[in-house]
Amino acid sequence: MRTTDTDVSATKPSPQQHRAAMIAEAASGGLKAILLKIALLGIVDAIALYGLFVLFLHQQWLIFTLVAAVTVVVNWIYFTPGKLPAKYLTPGVIFLVVFQIFVVGYTAYIGFTNYSTGHNSDKAQAISALMSSAQDRVPDSPAYAVTVLDQFGTLSFLVTDPNGKVSLGSADSPLAPVNNARLDGGEAVGLDGYTSLSFQDILARTSEITALAVPFSDDPNDGALRTNDGSNAYLYLSSLVYDEQADTMTDAQTGTVYSDTGDGAFVAASGEEMLPGWRINVGFDNFARAFTEEGIRTPLISVTLWTVTFAALSVATTFFLGLFLAIVFNDMRMKGRKFYRVAMILPYAFPAFLSALVWAGMLSESFGFVNQVLLGGAQIPWLTNEWLAKISILTVNLWLGFPYMFLVCTGALQSIPTELEEAATVDGARPWAVFRLIKLPLLLVSVSPLLIASFAFNFNNFNLIYMLTGGGPRDAAADVNVGATDILISMVYKVAFTGQARDYGLASAFSIIIFVLVAVISVVAFRKTKALEELNR
């Protein structure tokens, strides 16, 4: 059979295919590459093994299984020849899952729970905490010799009872017998895998040690061991009695019975609630509270409207000021354009939170530069009056944001072909018509995605609000900690992390609302941008 030149050229690899094969071979071969691969995977596997050990100790089986599976898959990908795309994609996918998908998913999960101050643990931990908070020392309790142990920051008691029996326990694990403890004079003084605290260590962690209560057994009614000196422990019994079958907690001193009503706490017939409670799933209750309770709904609506207004005005003012300056300094007739351009971007060069702090001092009612120097000692409440505070925020954000828009618009204007302007001028178009009908549409095609990104950024511009006004002035009528200048993200922060009642579930529900709002606005804006691109083709 005769082979033609066409058949040979069809089977011969192209230069691009040959180059790709060489790159793949170089990436996967060579002694140095293999040793580097082994070293990096060794580090990854060591971190994974440490994480698996910690997860095993805390009995987090779901996460344990996921980490183990991912570790096996990663090793299989990198030790198997070929699979070049997977080798490049794997690190990015892992970081995406850990830092984006997991965070969003966990936030959504918390939004459907009652996770808050007093409801931040499971039921077993809540029962243990309740009974520990009402403990009194048994008058005739024998002394138990104790050695305080540390393992990864968690304290435990290595206990030798009067009969010589050795047990180990921590705040979350009741006493259990151990057989491999190191003894000294008949008392246990150490255990493999644990660090025995020295006298100096005990002094340094006295408050932590004295607050530690180790359950005597699986039954919380059997009490717990506590120590005041780190060497001898005594039995403490609680004045509360827990009935596991009836699922009730009884106060032995008053006789009041508290029952589990399904709300994540023990509640008496009178409605009195025992805290701490525990975390439970509450479905859409947090969202229902956000939209039905007057004390939450009204401030939520006002904060949402101000957030949208603040983001929209911030984008509009910074864009038009930046565009105006870009047009001015793009004119070849302007003298000293380079100097002015450098001066214009100075606000952009300083960290935004530091600039906000400086402006907060300058706008102080009592001693600020604006009142004392520029206005001759006036007492204008720039940051404490509702409307003046909003104007101040928009002004400061304009000062912080216009340099970015100035740079963006300068680049976009310089990318517009000069022939278009020249042709329009020859046809008799005036400068305003040239700008409105030619430059601005072409400019918007280039900068619209950046305007959408700027809107999303200002929608969550936490630093400016928190550093300048702290969200104030405070709305005293609201049931949540919120002020007149709070935007949604600062409101979420206050609900979750400030005040005595920190409601993480409600804050997570607010976060989901923010996510939905930004997503909807972004989708609509990108559709408008696409329509604008089609119009200018």
Is the per-residue pLDDT at 177 higher than 80? Answer: yes
More confident residue, 5 or 85: 85
Percent of the chain with pLDDT over 90: 56
For the entire predicted model, the pTM comes to: 0.77
Q: Among positive and negative, which fits the CA dihedral 178, 183, 188, 192?
A: negative
Residues near 316 by beta carbon (within 8 Å), at least 6 away in sequence: none
Residue type, 258: Y
55-93 residues labelled b (16+ CB within 10 A) or e (exposed) = beeeeeeeebeebeebbeebeeebeeeeeeeebeebeee
For the segment(s) 291-535, the CATH number from 1.10.3720.10, 1.10.3470.10, 1.10.260.40, 3.40.50.12780 is: 1.10.3720.10
What is the pLDDT of the chain when averaged over all its residues? 88
pLDDT of residue 420: 80
**Banded model confidence at residue 424, pLDDT cuts 50, 70, 90:** confident
Q: Is residue 193 within 8 Å of 178, Cβ to Cβ?
A: no
Is the per-residue pLDDT at 462 higher than 90? Answer: yes
pLDDT of residue 128: 84
The CATH 1.10.3720.10 portion of the chain extends over 291-535
Strand order across the 257-260 sheet: 240-243, 248-251, 257-260, 266-268, 273-274
Is the per-residue pLDDT at 6 higher than 80? Answer: no
**Banded model confidence at residue 195, pLDDT cuts 50, 70, 90:** very high
* Residue whose entry in the numeric block shows the structure tokens 């304290």: 155
Q: What is the pLDDT of residues 298-326, one digit of tens each?
A: 999 999 999 999 999 999 999 999 999 99
More confident residue, 416 or 372: 372
**Banded model confidence at residue 113, pLDDT cuts 50, 70, 90:** very high
What's the average model confidence in pLDDT over 111-117? Answer: 94
**Banded model confidence at residue 13, pLDDT cuts 50, 70, 90:** low
pLDDT of residue 521: 83
Q: What is the CA radius of gyration of the chain?
A: 33
Q: What is the 3-state secondary structure (H, E, C) of 84-135?
A: HHHHHHHHHHHHHHHHHHHHHHHHHHHCCECCECCECCCHHHHHHHHHHHCE
Is the per-residue pLDDT at 1 higher than 50? Answer: no
Q: What is the pLDDT of residues 215-257, one digit of tens each?
A: 999 888 999 999 999 999 999 999 999 999 999 999 998 999 9
